Amino acid sequence: MRRTWRCLLASVVVWVTPGAVSAQERGYEGGWGMHPMTWMWGAWGIGMGLLMLVFWGLIIAGIVLAIRWLVRQGREPGSSRALDILRERYARGEINKEEFEAKRRDLS
């Protein structure tokens, strides 16, 4: 029986305390500037926080893609050392056309 009353009392304290705290009269001393910032933690605050993360994620991804694009500008497209060696071997006659095509497909 005592355990039941303790649980009931704990429940009442948990439910009543936030109401009592929020019912206190307060001026604007809790906020910044001329109005309190109580709205910031509502749905708008969460949504704006997520939008800020998306915005900075897009900015950082754009910078990374721009740097990768600039680095690749100096390279020849599709050129690799392995294909060059394979072409040289084919030109010297060390491998025939079937071997060349099979190895080129493996490298690509």
pTM check: above 0.75: no
Name residue, tokens 């900075």: 56
Range with lowest mean pLDDT among 9-18, 33-42, 72-81, 86-95: 33-42
Q: How far apart are CA 68 and CA 55, in angstroms?
A: 20
Q: How far apart are CA 106 and CA 108, in angstroms?
A: 6
Q: How far apart are CA 77 and CA 108, in angstroms?
A: 13
3-state secondary structure at position 108: coil
Contacts of 30 (CB under 8 A, 6+ apart): 36, 37
Query: Is the CB of residue 28 less than 8 Å from the CB of residue 35?
Result: yes
Confidence of residue 104 (pLDDT cuts 50, 70, 90): confident
pLDDT at residue 64, as a whole number: 97
Query: Is the CB of residue 107 less than 8 Å from the CB of residue 80?
Result: yes
